[in-house]
C-alpha cells in the first residue's frame, strides 16, 4: 500500500476507534522501515537489463570474425566470472533488487555465451537444445531470486523450449513425432502437474506461480483452438485435427492411428494424475479444488471429443461459409469454450484475481456475440439471440446469488 | 550454508559452458580431417547470427525416407575419393547396431532428420557482411566443408572452403 493511502486508512480506523494513535504510529514506523524498491522501479530496472542483454546477444550474433575466437571467449568468460562474483557479493539479501538485476544479467549472458560457443565451434544445434541447456544451467541461480521477474523468465524460456522441441521437425511422423505431438496437446495438464510439484518442493516454490499461470494460458489456447476448429468448419479438413497436425502420413494411416492412441492415452493418464494432485492439495480451499478438478475433467472431455466424434461421417468442407455445415459442430465449439471460461472465471473469483475474472467475463460476452454472427448471420436474429442470452445470464446470476450458500455447501460436501 | 549453495549455483553455468567449449576444442584438436562438398543457403538465428546451412554431398543417400526413419541413428562410412582434391565420400550408411561389426574405420555419426542424414555439422556461422557472397559461392557448388572426425564418429567443423581456399582468404581476394 502507498504511504499516503496507508496514512489515510489508519486515520479513518483511528477515528472509528478501531486502533489507537500509538498503534497507528507503530504501523507507519514499521512500514517505513521495511520499505523496499517500488515495483515500478524494479520493473524498469529489469526492462533495462533485458534490453542491454538482448543488445549483447545481438552484438555477439553479428559475428566479429576479425577478433580472434580466443579473445572473444576470454572476454565472455571474464564478464561471466565478474557477474558471478557480484552475485556472491549481493547474495546476503541486503539489496534484493540489485541481486535480481545482476542475476538477470548473468542468466542472459549465459544464453549469449551458448550462442557465442555455438558460433565459434559451428555446433549447429536446434533452438530448443540451446534453451533447454540454458534452463538447466541457470535453474539454481533462478531459485535464489528475490522477486518474480527471474522465475517468470525461466518458466517462459522453459516452456518455449518445450514447444520448440514439439515442433522442431515439421514432419511429425515416426515414433518420436507421435510423442512430441501428444506432449504438446497435454501441456495444460503437464504444466499444471509441474506447478503442483514445484509448490510442494520448497526450493522450487518460486516457479509454481508462473507455471500455474502458463497452465491456465495453455488451457485457454487449447479451448480456443477447439472452438475455432469446430465453429469455423476447419475440423472437417484433415489438417486441423490435433493428432494430424503436420502429419505427412495422412488420414487413416497406421501412424495417424498410433498418434491418436498415444494422444488420448496421455491426456487421460495426465487427467487422472491432475485430479489426484488436486485432491491432495489440502492447502487450497474446497471450492478452488472442485473448480480445478472440473477444469481438468472438462479439458479431458474436450480433447477426447476429437476421438468420439466421427468427422469422416460428415461431408468434407473446404470453406467455412458452407451453408450445410452441421449445426451440432457449429455450436459444440462455443459451448465448450463458454463452459471453460465460466469455470475459469469462478476459479479466478475464488482466488480473488479480479482482473483475470473480468477478462474471462468479457471473453464470455464476446464469444456470445460471435456465436450469433456465426450461426444466424442476420442482424435481427443476432439481436434477438443476444437479448435472450443476456436475460438467461442475468436470471442465472440471480438464481446463483439467492441459492449460493446451498450450492457451496453441496459442492463443499463433495470433497469431505 | 546458503552462501555455499549460491556459489555452487553460480559456478554451475560457468563449469558447463567452459566444459562445452573445451569439448569442442578437444574434438577440433584431435580428430581426423575430412573434406566434403556442400550445397546450401543462408538464413540466420537470433542467438548466433548469420549462418550458411547446407546439404553435405556424401555421394550416397541414407535410407531416411518415411516416418519410421525419423530420429534413427546412422553412420556415414567415409572413403577418400581418388584424384579429387582429397575429397571424402560416404561409401555407405550403416545402422547403429552394425557399425561395430563393420570394416569401416572412418565414419560420421548422425540421425535421420526431415528425411535426410544430419550429423550436426550443417551450419557454418559467418559475419553478416560476407553472408551474400558466401551464400552465392556455396549455391553455385564452390563450397566444401572441412571437418574433424573423432574415433566415435563425432564431427566438428574446422573450416569452410570456397574454390579450395579458406573462406577468409576467398573474401580477401
- What's the residue count for chain A? 416
Q: Which residues of chain B, if any, have pLDDT below 70?
A: 40-47, 65-70, 83-85
- Separation between Cα atoms, residue B91 and residue B76, nearest integer Å: 8
Could you write out the DSSP letters of every residue in B67-126? GGGTT-EEEEEEEEPTTSTT-EEEEEEEETTTTTTS---SEEEEEEETTEEE-S--EEE-
Q: Does A258 touch chain B (CB under 8 A)?
A: no
- Separation between Cα atoms, residue B52 and residue A122, nearest integer Å: 10
A169 to B114: CB separation less than 8 angstroms, yes or no = yes
**Which cell goes with A267?**
491426456
What is the reported pLDDT for B83? 67
What is the reported pLDDT for A300? 93
pLDDT in tens, B10-48: 999 999 999 999 988 888 888 788 888 777 655 666 667
Chain A residues close to B70, C-beta within 8 Å: 169, 171, 173-177
A115 to B48: CB separation less than 8 angstroms, yes or no = yes
Name residues whose C-beta falls within 8 Å of residue A114's C-beta, 6 or more positions apart in sequence.
A130, A133, A134, B17, B20, B47
Instruction: Provide the 10 A C-beta neighbour count for residue A42.
Output: 19
Q: Which residues of chain A, if any, have pLDDT below 70?
A: 1-3, 33-37, 169-177, 237-240, 243-259, 315-325, 375-378, 404-416
Q: Does A177 touch chain B (CB under 8 A)?
A: yes
Q: Cα distance from B42 to chain A (closest Cα, Å)?
A: 13
- The enclosing H or E element of B40 equals strand B32-41
pTM, full prediction = 0.77
What is the reported pLDDT for A251? 45
What is the reported pLDDT for A415? 47
Q: Does A173 touch chain B (CB under 8 A)?
A: yes
B67 to A123: CB separation less than 8 angstroms, yes or no = no
What is the average pLDDT value for chain B, to the nearest integer? 82
What is the reported pLDDT for B133? 84
Dihedral angle sign, alpha carbons of residues A286, A287, A291, A294: positive
Q: Does A56 touch chain B (CB under 8 A)?
A: no
What is the reported pLDDT for A412? 53
Q: Which of A53, A63, A81, A116 to mutate to test the interface with B (most CBs of B within 10 A)?
A: A63
Instruction: Provide the 10 A C-beta neighbour count for residue B60.
Output: 13
Which of B21, B51, B71 lies at the smallest CB-CB distance from A176?
B71
pLDDT in tens, A23-53: 888 888 887 766 666 777 888 888 888 899 8
The nearest alpha carbon in chain B to A173 belongs to: B67
B17 to A117: CB separation less than 8 angstroms, yes or no = yes
Predicted ipTM of the assembly:
0.72
Give the angle subtended at the CA of A142 by the CAs of A139 and A144, to the nearest 5°: 125
3-class secondary-structure state, position B18:
helix
Chain B residues close to A136, C-beta within 8 Å: 16
**Which cell goes with A150?**
527471474
To which residue does cell 548469420 refer? B50
Which of B6, B47, B168 lies at the smallest CB-CB distance from A88?
B6
Laid out side by side, the sheet with B107-113 consists of: B88-95, B73-80, B107-113, B116-118
Amino acid at each position: 500500500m502507498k504511504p499516503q493511502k496507508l496514512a489515510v486508512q489508519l486515520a479513518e480506523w483511528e477515528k472509528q476507534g478501531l486502533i489507537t494513535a500509538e498503534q497507528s504510529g507503530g504501523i507507519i514506523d514499521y512500514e517505513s522501515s521495511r520499505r523496499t524498491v517500488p515495483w515500478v522501479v524494479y520493473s524498469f530496472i529489469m526492462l533495462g537489463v533485458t534490453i542491454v542483454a538482448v543488445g549483447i546477444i545481438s552484438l555477439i550474433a553479428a559475428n566479429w570474425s576479425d577478433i580472434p575466437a580466443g579473445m572473444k571467449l576470454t572476454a565472455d568468460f571474464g564478464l561471466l566470472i565478474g557477474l558471478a562474483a557480484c552475485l556472491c557479493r549481493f547474495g546476503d539479501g541486503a539489496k534484493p533488487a540489485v541481486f535480481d538485476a545482476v542475476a538477470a544479467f548473468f542468466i542472459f549472458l549465459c544464453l549469449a555465451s551458448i550462442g557465442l560457443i555455438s558460433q565459434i565451434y559451428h555446433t549447429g544445434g536446434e533452438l530448443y537444445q540451446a534453451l533447454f541447456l540454458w534452463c538447466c544451467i541457470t535453474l539454481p541461480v533462478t531459485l535464489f531470486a528475490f522477486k518474480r521477474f527471474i522465475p517468470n523468465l525461466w518458466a517462459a524460456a522453459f516452456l518455449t523450449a518445450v514447444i520448440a522441441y514439439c515442433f522442431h521437425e515439421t514432419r511429425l511422423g515416426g515414433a518420436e513425432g507421435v510423442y512430441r505431438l501428444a506432449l504438446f496437446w497435454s501441456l495444460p495438464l503437464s504444466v499444471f502437474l509441474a506447478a503442483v510439484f514445484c509448490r510442494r518442493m520448497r526450493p522450487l516454490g518460486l516457479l509454481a506461480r508462473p507455471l500455474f499461470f502458463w497452465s491456465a494460458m495453455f488451457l485457454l489456447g487449447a479451448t480456443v483452438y477447439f472452438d475455432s476448429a469446430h465453429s469455423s468448419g476447419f475440423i472437417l479438413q484433415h489438417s486441423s485435427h490435433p493428432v494430424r497436425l503436420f502429419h505427412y502420413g495422412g488420414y487413416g494411416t497406421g501412424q495417424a492411428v498410433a498418434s491418436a492412441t498415444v494422444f488420448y492415452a496421455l491426456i487421460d493418464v495426465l487427467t487422472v494424475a491432475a485430479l489426484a494432485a488436486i485432491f491432495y492439495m489440502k492447502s487450497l480451499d474446497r471450492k478452488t479444488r472442485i473448480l480445478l478438478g472440473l477444469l481438468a475433467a472438462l479439458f479431458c472431455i474436450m480433447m477426447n471429443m476429437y476421438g468420439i466424434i466421427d468427422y469422416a461421417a460428415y461431408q468434407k468442407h473446404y470453406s467455412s461459409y458452407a451453408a450445410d455445415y452441421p449445426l451440432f459442430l457449429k455450436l459444440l465449439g462455443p459451448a465448450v469454450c463458454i463452459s471453460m471460461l465460466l469455470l475459469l472465471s469462478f476459479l479466478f473469483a475464488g482466488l480473488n484475481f479480479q482482473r483475470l475474472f473480468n477478462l474471462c467475463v468479457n471473453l464470455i460476452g464476446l464469444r456470445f456475440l460471435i456465436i450469433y454472427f456465426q450461426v444466424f448471420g442476420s442482424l435481427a436474429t443476432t439481436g434477438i439471440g443476444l437479448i435472450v442470452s443476456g436475460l438467461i445470464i442475468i436470471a442465472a446470476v440471480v438464481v446463483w446469488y439467492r441459492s449460493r450458500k446451498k450450492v457451496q455447501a453441496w459442492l463443499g460436501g463433495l470433497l469431505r | 550454508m546458503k552462501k555455499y549453495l549460491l556459489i555452487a549455483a553460480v559456478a554451475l553455468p560457468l563449469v558447463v559452458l567452459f566444459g562445452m567449449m573445451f569439448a569442442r576444442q578437444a574434438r577440433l584438436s584431435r580428430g581426423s580431417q575430412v573434406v566434403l562438398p556442400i550445397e546450401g543457403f543462408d538464413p540466420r538465428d537470433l542467438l548466433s547470427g548469420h549462418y550458411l546451412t547446407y546439404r553435405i554431398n556424401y555421394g550416397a543417400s541414407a535410407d531416411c525416407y518415411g516416418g519410421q526413419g525419423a530420429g534413427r541413428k546412422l553412420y556415414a562410412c567415409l572413403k577418400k575419393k581418388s584424384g579429387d582434391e582429397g575429397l571424402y565420400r560416404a561409401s555407405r550408411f550403416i545402422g547403429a547396431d552394425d557399425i561395430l561389426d563393420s570394416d569401416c574405420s572412418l565414419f560420421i555419426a548422425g540421425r535421420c532428420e526431415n528425411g535426410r542424414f544430419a550429423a550436426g555439422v550443417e551450419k557454418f556461422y559467418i559475419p553478416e557482411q560476407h553472408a551474400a557472397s558466401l551464400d552465392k559461392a556455396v549455391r553455385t557448388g564452390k563450397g566444401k566443408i572441412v571437418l574433424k572426425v573423432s574415433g566415435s564418429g563425432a564431427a566438428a567443423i574446422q573450416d569452410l572452403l570456397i574454390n579450395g581456399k579458406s573462406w577468409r582468404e576467398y573474401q580477401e581476394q
